[in-house]
Structure 1
């Protein structure tokens, strides 16, 4: 937890195993963590209102939602903390999937640190025979987009660095 700044714009970038991940990542951080969440969740009347109240905002997946990117950058520049799942969806295999460059683009534009974060065993919650699995959330050391220019190649390199740090945390703490 000491790796997560208590103020200033910050991105917590994590692997995604289950619907429990946002709640578990957020409950150990000493500040509100908002999320980019799929638009469909905001279409559910009570859930949508709750998500907005929890500092989250919708993203239309699969289309390169520029409005969601602008909202993310604005929130970060205003000093908010935001959770992002670079893979864009839950992993069905438990292994890291290919990540989109969105998290790198947002970090580069907002000029904020990215905290690589590993969630472990959350896909086991409420599974038959593992009612209380050994769930872990590990927050890595902040990393920054350091290049002067923002281009596709640099964003891919920074995305790869973020995902490698997440994989290193998974490897180090896997039970």
Structure 2
């Protein structure tokens, strides 16, 4: 993913000074092995902000519509994005994501599925819990805090990996796993305002 590394560096250096970004907790991100970074979602800039601040290369899910035009499809593919059909079960996307994790790679997800209009953290979709339970991935919560306004500070806070082992052993539901992850993201936000 050579183009990903180039784009990550370029976007990070362009956006970092504009939003006075502060990254906290990068040491909580495992250097290797399967990883899911789960963040709240407040802006279209969230994927490049999380991707740029994370020391690992992240694959993101992206709505299928972004892959319909040739140029956008080439861009999405070169960034390692995975197309997903919104509002329905997409078995192909599920298999692709599980394969990424099985291969020890990292995934960036926004559990809410869409941007929050109010800035408040909403309900997470159960698909996130499904990935967390079906893989042995470390799940790292991430909170994006602050407005995307020029000159105002924007914080990107990574928490310690969420302990999913008990839920895996108890054969918990995907919703229970998602709720646990969302609670950790909310705690990160509250503790770092």
- Normalising by the residue count of structure 2, what TM-score does the alignment of the two structures yield? 0.81
Shift of 1:44: 3.1
CA distance in 1, matches of 2:128, 2:62: 13
What is the distance in 2 between the residues matched to 1:45 and 1:79?
29
CA distance in 1, matches of 2:82, 2:68: 12
Instruction: Measure, in 2, the Cα distance between the counterparts of 1:8 and 1:54.
Output: 20
Structure with the bigger percentage of helix:
2
Please show how residues 9-20 of structure 1 align to structure 2 within 5 Å.
9-20=34-45
Figure out how many residues of one structure are paired with residues of the other and give that number.
166
Deviations 1:93-142 (A, max 9, x none): 11111111111111111111110110112xx33xxxx3232111101110
Task: Give the Å deviation of 1:89.
Answer: 0.5
Q: Please, which of 74, 80, 86 is the counterpart of residue 61 of structure 1?
A: 86
Aligned to 1:148: 169
The unaligned stretches of length 5 or more in structure 2 are: 1-25
* Structure 1 residue runs without a partner (length 5+): none
1:112 aligns with 2:137: yes
Deviation at 1:31, TM superposition (A): 2.2
1:4 aligns with 2:38: no
Aligned CA-pair RMSD: 1.4
CA–CA separation in structure 2 for the residues paired with 1:67 and 1:144: 28
Task: Give the corresponding residue for 1:34.
Answer: 59
User: Does the 8 A contact of 1:9 with 1:79 survive in 2?
Assistant: yes
Q: Distance in 2 between matches of 1:68 and 1:156?
A: 19
Which aligned runs of 4 or more in structure 1 are off by greater than 4 angstroms? none
Give the TM-score normalised by structure 1. 0.89
